[in-house]
Amino acid sequence: MSEKGMNLTLKIWRQKNATSKGKIETYKVADISEHMSFLEMMDVLNEQLINEGQEPIAFDHDCREGICGMCSLHINGEAHGPDRGVTTCQLHMRMFNDGDTIYIEPFRAKAFPVIKDLIIDRTAFDRIQHAGGFVSVNTSGNTQDANALPIPKADADKAFDAATCIGCGACVASCKNASAMLYVSAKVSQFSLLPQGKVEAKDRVLNMVEQMDKEGFGNCTNTGACEVECPKGISLENIARMNSEYLKASITKEA
Amino acid sequence: MKTSIARKVLMALSGFFLLFFLLQHFIINFSSVISEDGFNSASHFMGTNPIIQYGLQPVLIFGVIFHLGMGIYLELQNNKARSVKYAMNKPSANASWMSRNMIYTGLMVMLFLGLHFYDFWIPEIKTKFIDGDMSGALNGVEGTRYFHELQHKFVDVWRVALYCLSFVFLSLHLLHGFQSAFQSVGFSHNRYTPIIKKLGNLYAVVVPLGFVFIALYHYVSQL
């Protein structure tokens, strides 16, 4: 393994804490293998910083296999970097070239305040979920046979597709309006397409949208940037579904 | 009105109304290329029919003001949703120019409407409702005045150029707006949405291009 690695210039957002003013700092890393993941490259940089007695860069990560939704990062102007259908932890350094300058920033939205460096507070998503992203049935002990309730294959597929949303926030980060509609619509759709979720569908969509607005996310203008940058390929169709469900629910809701 | 979805639905509904208005406006204007008399009678009907003047015209004025006001309000709100901007951003990587610049193309169309109001609408209102002349007659012109007035607008080359340019902005606005309105009211279907998108592109190109053609036709015919 004697292949020559990449030398990169990194422009990284550093911010001491939530209240301090941050700025972009420049770092250099050398001999980065193209087989590394982006976060492994960040690990190399952090080791280098620690060895130099500097504060390492704080960034979110957990499973490092694209399913937990913890990693974020706005890399060279795009959420989760230049690749498609991947999270930052799945992004390979082979997407970059020797000598590149890479901008690394936190996902930006008023509803996602920076906690430190590249770590943002995404609890706004949790609060939206708490507002209605659940089914109020007791599932302990006496689980029903799965085939007792027939569900059209197409609906089941769409519900499962929506349920693959990992809540990373790339949709918000990519949207020019910092809108959370793709996320909320996926969480609405994964339940409303299935019979178990239909029971509370009206209240769910009304309450989740209300909470979404309260958190200070922007308004969707259908640019479609969210769908392109979503690591899980959540479809814009979900937003249309949420819009129509919301319309129906707000018209038919009893006083 | 209070929630983001309600606002975008209202934005879409006012957009649909304006799309419908624009289409009939185009058809009537286009008739001026085919027949002077046809254009005159259609214009006289639209300009004097009480249902159109007192019923639909106020809806149109409200629709235009609402679409503009809500558009500006949403833009300001959306800007607030991201207070710290990215140092490096690549918006063209994931969204079309048209979809990202609706506020600017929209404002350009509104600027044109300012000229259009000065040129056409205010004089019309003055003639019909202040001077009380609903006859459509004009001294020295045989028949009604509409065709004559239309031609008169397309004499100055700069006005014609400005007119054509504003329709480029309208086209850009519609290339996103048409299909976006359907998505906003919650209509998405894997069979029909691709058709709507194609129809939207067709409308966004043919109608503005048609208006440009009408302007150039009258300009050239008077050279």
Give the residue among B75, B77, B78 at the shortest CA–CA distance from B105: B75
| Cα gap A175→B86, rounded to integer Å | 12
Residues of A in contact with B85 (CB under 8 A): 108
B188 chain-A contacts, CB cut-off 8 A = 236-237, 239-241
> Rounded to an integer, what distance in angstroms lies between the CA atom of residue A235 and that of residue B196?
17
Q: Is residue B85 part of a domain?
A: no
B210-221 residue pLDDT tens: 999 999 999 999
**Is it the case that residue B23 has pLDDT exceeding 70?**
yes
What pLDDT is attached to residue B2? 79
Residue of B nearest to A171 (CA): B94
**Torsion A90-A95-A99-A100 (CA) sign:** negative
Residue B33, phi then psi, degrees to nearest 5: -75, -35
**Tokens matching residue A165:** 């949303």
Residue contact A105–B86, C-beta within 8 A: yes
Q: Which residue does chain B place closest to A242, by CA atoms?
A: B186
CA distance A3 to chain B (A): 31
- Cβ pairs bridging A and B (under 8 Å): 140
pLDDT of residue B142: 78
- Does B150 map to a domain? yes
- Asked if B78 lies within 8 A of A11 by C-beta distance, the reply is no
pLDDT tens-digit readout, A161-199: 999 999 999 999 999 999 999 999 999 999 999 988 999
Residue B118 lies in a domain: yes
What are φ and ψ of residue A100, in 5° steps? -65, 150
B contact residues 140-199, partner A, Cβ 8 Å cutoff? 176, 179-180, 183-188, 190
Instruction: Give yes or no for residue B132 having a pLDDT over 60.
Output: yes
> What single letter denotes the amino acid at residue A68?
C
Distance from CA of A77 to the nearest CA of B (A): 4
- Short-list B26, B71, B85, B40, CA closest to B181: B71
What is the rounded distance in angstroms from the CA atom of residue A65 to the CA atom of residue A231? 12
Q: How many angstroms separate the CA atoms of B87 and B39, rounded? A: 55
Confidence of residue B141 (pLDDT cuts 50, 70, 90): confident
Mean pLDDT of A237-247: 97
Q: Which CATH number applies to A123-252: 1.10.287.70, 1.10.1060.10, 2.60.120.10, 1.10.3720.10?
A: 1.10.1060.10
> In a mutagenesis test of the B interface, which of A100, A120, A222, A245 is the best target, namely the one with the most B β-carbons within 10 Å?
A222
A110/B78 Cβ within 8 A:
no
Of residues A108, A181, A223, nearest to B84 (C-beta)? A108
Residue B93 lies inside a defined structural domain of this protein: no
Q: Which two tokens stand for residue A170?
A: 């790339």
In this complex, is the C-beta atom of B100 within 8 Å of any C-beta atom belonging to chain A?
A: yes
Average pLDDT over residues B11-15: 97
| Contact assessment for residue A120 and residue A106, using Cβ atoms and an 8 Å cutoff | yes
Q: What's B197's domain CATH number?
A: 1.20.1300.10
pLDDT at B119: 87
At A96-116, the pLDDT tens digits run 999 999 999 999 999 999 999
Mean pLDDT (chain B) is 94
Instruction: Name the residue among B80, B99, B188 with its Cβ closest to that of A221.
Output: B99
Compute, in degrees rounded to 10, the torsion defined by CA atoms A39, A44, A49, A53: 120
Q: A189 is written with which tokens? A: 């759709």
Q: Is A24 helix (H, G, I), strand (E, B) or coil?
A: strand
Work out the average pLDDT over B115-133: 89
Boundaries of domain holding B103: 4-80+99-221
Contact list in B for residue A214 (CB cut-off 8 A) is none
State which residue of chain A sits closest to B189, comparing Cα positions. A237
pLDDT digits (tens, 9 = 90+) for B183-205: 999 999 999 999 999 999 999 99
B129 belongs to a structural domain: yes
Q: How confident is the model at residue B1 (pLDDT cuts 50, 70, 90)?
A: low
On whether residue B177 sits in a domain, the answer given is: yes
User: Can you give the pLDDT at residue B71?
Assistant: 97
Residue A35 has pLDDT above 70, yes or no: yes
Burial classification of residue B14, based on how many CB atoms lie within 10 Å of its CB (0-12 exposed, 13-18 middle, 19 or more buried):
buried
Residue A95 pLDDT class (50, 70, 90 cuts): very high
pLDDT of res. A139: 67
| Site from A221, A242, A244 to mutate, B interface, most B CB atoms within 10 angstroms | A221
Q: How many CB atoms neighbour CB A212 within 10 A?
A: 27
| Amino acid at residue number B205 | V
Chain A contacts of B94, Cβ < 8 Å? Answer: 78, 174, 223-225, 228-229
Q: What's the token pair of residue B62?
A: 């409200």
Pairwise CB contact (< 8 Å): A247 & B82: no
For chain A, domain boundaries: 6-115, 123-252
Which range is most confident: A147-151, B134-138, B207-211? B207-211
The vertex-A52 CA angle with A4 and A10, nearest 5°, equals: 50
A247–B5: do the CB atoms touch at under 8 Å?
A: yes
Type of residue found at A32: I
Q: What's A121-157 look like in SS3?
A: CCHHHHHHHHCCCCCCCCCCCCCCCHHHCCCCHHHHH
Chain A contact for B4 (CB, 8 A cutoff):
yes
Chain A CB contacts of B180 under 8 Å are 221-222
A6-115 CATH = 3.10.20.30
Read off the pLDDT of residues A120-152 as tens digits, 9 standing for 90 and up: 999 999 999 999 999 987 767 777 787 888 999
Tokens of B139: 């001294």
Tell me which H or E stretch contains B18. Answer: helix B4-34
User: From CA A6, how far away is CA A15, in angstroms rounded?
Assistant: 27
Q: Looking at residue B44, what is its pLDDT?
A: 94
Nearest to B128 by CA among B53, B211, B205, B198: B53
Give the pLDDT score at A118.
98
B135, pLDDT greater than 60 = yes
Out of A179, A217, A223, closest to residue B99 by CB: A223
Confidence of residue B140 (pLDDT cuts 50, 70, 90): confident
Q: Is B105 on the interface with A (CB under 8 A)?
A: no
Q: What angle do CA B206, B190, B5 make, to 5 degrees?
A: 80
Are residues B187 and A244, on separate chains, in Cβ contact within 8 Å? yes
Nearest to A226 by CA among A158, A152, A170: A170
Q: Do B99 and A224 count as a contact with CB atoms less than 8 A apart?
A: yes
Contact flag A178-B78 (C-beta cutoff 8 Å):
yes
| Helices (H) then strands (E): counts for chain A | 9, 7
- Condensed to tens digits (0 to 9), the pLDDT of residues B60-81 reads 999 999 999 999 999 999 999 9
| pLDDT higher than 90, residue A200 | yes
Radius of gyration of chain B (CA): 20
- Please report which helix (H) or strand (E) contains residue B161, including its range: helix B157-184
- Report chain A residues whose CB lies below 8 A from the CB of B95: 176, 223-225, 228
Largest CA distance in chain B: 65
The answer to the question of residue B90 being in a domain is: no
Hey, are the CB atoms on A179 and B81 less than 8 Å from each other?
yes
**Total domains, chain B:** 1
pLDDT(A33) > 70 = yes
Report how far apart, in Å, the C-alpha atoms of B141 and of each of B121, B124, B144, B147 are: 20, 17, 7, 10
- Name residue A8's beta-bridge partners: A29
As a whole-number percent, the residues of chain B with pLDDT over 70 amount to 100
| Residue B89 included in any domain | no
